[in-house]
Amino acid sequence: MWRFVKVSGFAKREIPLDVDAILDLASDYAPENEWQALMEAPPGTEPETPKNHPNPAVDVVRDCVEMLLDEDQYVVHAIHYERITYEELGTRLGCSAPHAWRLVQIAQKRLGELLLLDGRIKDLLDADE
């Protein structure tokens, strides 16, 4: 919703103000730490999750990536963390882009198998339901 607001000091002009954008900024708010979340929580309610709160699923995935072979770790890291293209990965590995894609698929399959074997993922998924 756009509104026009008169602003003094700007030759008495009206400037457009997107109220919805400002409200969206407020909805993205999260407390910085656990203490701030606790202090801002209304009485009788659970505090919000702070920004720096560790996500346990990230730790599980990180541990499983570390269990992969070095070659698999390299392609997973290049595609998911460096966000390079298959063409760039193929250039680095000295192969074609389609072959680089196949190598990534194999590495992701192995990572998926390790995640299925890790009981912590099942516990996290059961906790969400």
46-77 pLDDT, tens digit each:
777 776 666 778 788 889 999 999 999 999 99
Whether pLDDT at 26 is above 90: no
What is the per-residue pLDDT for 13? 57
Is the pTM higher than 0.85? no
pLDDT band at 23 (very low <50, low <70, confident <90, very high): low
Q: 3-class secondary structure for 27-74? A: HCCCCCCHHHHHHHCCCCCCCCCCCCCCCHHHHHHHHHHHHCCHHHHH
CATH topology of domain 56-128: Arc Repressor Mutant, subunit A (1.10.10)
Does 110 or 125 have the greater pLDDT score?
A: 110
Q: How far apart are CA 2 and CA 16, in angstroms?
A: 6
What is the per-residue pLDDT for 73? 94
Domain borders along the chain are 2-40, 56-128
Contact 72, 54 (CB under 8 A): no
Does 95 or 33 have the greater pLDDT score?
A: 95
Tell me the average pLDDT across 105-115.
Answer: 93
Contact 61, 112 (CB under 8 A): no
What is the per-residue pLDDT for 114? 92
Does 37 or 114 have the greater pLDDT score?
A: 114
